[in-house]
Amino acid sequence: MLDLEKYLIQGNNRLEGEVKITGAKNSVLPILAATVISGEKSIISNIPNLKDVKVMTEILKTIGSKVKVEEHRMIIDTNGVNSIDLPEELVREMRSSIILMGALLTRFGEVNVSFPGGCEIGPRPIDLHLKALKQMGAEIKESHGFIHCKTEKLKGADIQLDYPSVGATENIMLAAVKAKGVTVIRNAAREPEIMDLEDYLNKSGAKIKGAGTSIITIEGVERLNGTNHKIIPDRIVAGTIMAGAVMTKGKIIIKDIITEHLQSTIAKLKETGANVIINGNSMMVIGPKNINAIEILQTLPFPGFPTDMQAQFMAMLSIGNGTSIINETVFENRFKHAEELSRMGANIKTFGKVSVVKGVKKLTGAKVYAKDLRGGAALVLAGLVAEGDTEIENIYHINRGYENLDETLRRLGAKISCI
């Protein structure tokens, strides 16, 4: 995938048909990191074909793993992992590689990781990760842009997270699985991806309880073994397609989902007037004639409305009937798509972490720039309904989290090509 590729979208599309949801990016990344702990072979299936997964696979190989990549499946043998250094270029490329800290600390008692730069959506510090690892007995020094962590033996601790950080919760779980004693994480993140990580780790022999709630308890064990695991479906990819159905007055059957993971997104879509019919692990979404505005849309940690769906909803509400207020409470700077949507005729005013979206009748096609992963997806949705052609540059952002988004949308009737 060349980084210069762009999407060309002809407007006035209506999406109709069926789509099967791929495995969750934000579940496979921490689970790939977790395979380092056992030093054995794990088979992970339902893996999405994404740029971020390729980067994590490269990192695993760089530190000594043997990885056999098949179609949506990987066989990872981490017996040969022999490096405690996480190279700067890879950590800069993907901030979530910081999740390897806990795994390498557990495996070797030592890790050197380059300080993860901020990213498009904010500074994204790792203070909560480091504070917890210190509580578990890691000595942490920061110098020359690197973080050096060292410990004789990690020990269980009672950790109160100041914020239910997903990454910090995951890193602590990986540091705690073989620590001496019991670790309790209070105010833990409750995302479904945390539950998937607990499921993988317990199948590997860990003793973890409470993922999905605010209190997770991890009893340290002697060793972990390799295991097989199927990644849960990606609730954000599903939510993005659902928003597309609503915006294009379409009708889409979305298969292979876990509706429990989508409740807040479903509730908010229903507020716009969409019809959502759930049937086991699939659902049908029918777009309304007119999209109702949503008085207040606030992003919150799970089970609140997901920040990863905020941009897609902003695109949808920009053609809603009336004015919606969006409050992004999770990230510092996650409204970059607003200015691009405005170039397409949206009427959006942003004040810090609040955006006021005044619905307009029609968006018009334009040349716009993806600035981050979900903002890019929002621009694709806007292009589908705009009058005229839209050209989206920098779609490498989008390929980080969506497997062949253009192909998926073409199968649903969209006039979109990658040039």
Secondary structure (H, E, C), 298-327:
EECCCCCECHHHHHHHHHHHCCCECEEEEE
335 binds ligand EPZ (CB under 6 A): no
User: First and final CA of the chain: distance in angstroms?
Assistant: 11
Residue closest to ligand EPZ, measured at CB? 167
Catalytic-residue membership of 119? yes
Q: Which of 187, 264, 307, 355 binds ligand EPZ (CB under 6 A)?
A: 307
Helix, strand, coil percent content, the chain, rounded in steps of 5: 35, 30, 35
Residue in 26, 259, 272, 399 binding ligand EPZ, rule: CB under 6 A: 26
Among 77, 198, 199, 308, binds ligand EPZ (CB under 6 A): 308
**Identified binder of ligand EPZ from the candidate list 149, 166, 311, 370, rule CB under 6 A:** 166
Q: Examine residue 136 and tell whether it contacts ligand EPZ (CB under 6 A).
A: no
Asked if 125 is part of the footprint of ligand EPZ (rule: CB under 6 A), the reply reads yes
x/- binding map, residues 357-396, to ligand EPZ, per CB under 6 A? ----------------xx----------------------
Q: Is 212 left (phi over 0), alpha (psi -120 to 50) or beta?
A: left
The residues, ordered by sequence, that sit 6+ positions from 183 with a Cβ below 8 Å of its Cβ are: 136, 156, 157, 158, 159, 172, 175, 176, 217, 218, 220
Check whether the bond before 303 is cis (ω within 30° of 0). yes
Only one of the segments 13-21, 25-33, 41-49, 197-205 lies at the binding site for ligand EPZ (rule: CB under 6 A); that segment is: 25-33
| Contact between 149 and 129 (Cβ < 8 Å) | no
CB of 273 to ligand EPZ, least distance (A): 26
Given the residues 69, 119, 182, 253, the one annotated as active site: 119
Rounded distance, CA 352 to CA 178, Å?
42
Task: Work out how close the CB of 33 gets to ligand EPZ at its nearest, in angstroms, rounded to a whole number.
Answer: 10
CB atoms within 10 A of CB 215: 13
CB 172 within 8 A of CB 132: yes
Classify 19 as helix, strand or coil: strand
Least distance to ligand EPZ, CB of residue 141, Å: 17
Select 77 or 191, whichever has its Cβ closest to ligand EPZ.
191
Question: Mind telling me the catalytic residues?
Answer: 119
| Chain residues that interact with ligand EPZ, rule: CB under 6 A | 25-26, 29, 96, 122, 124-129, 163, 165-168, 189, 307-308, 330-331, 373-374, 401
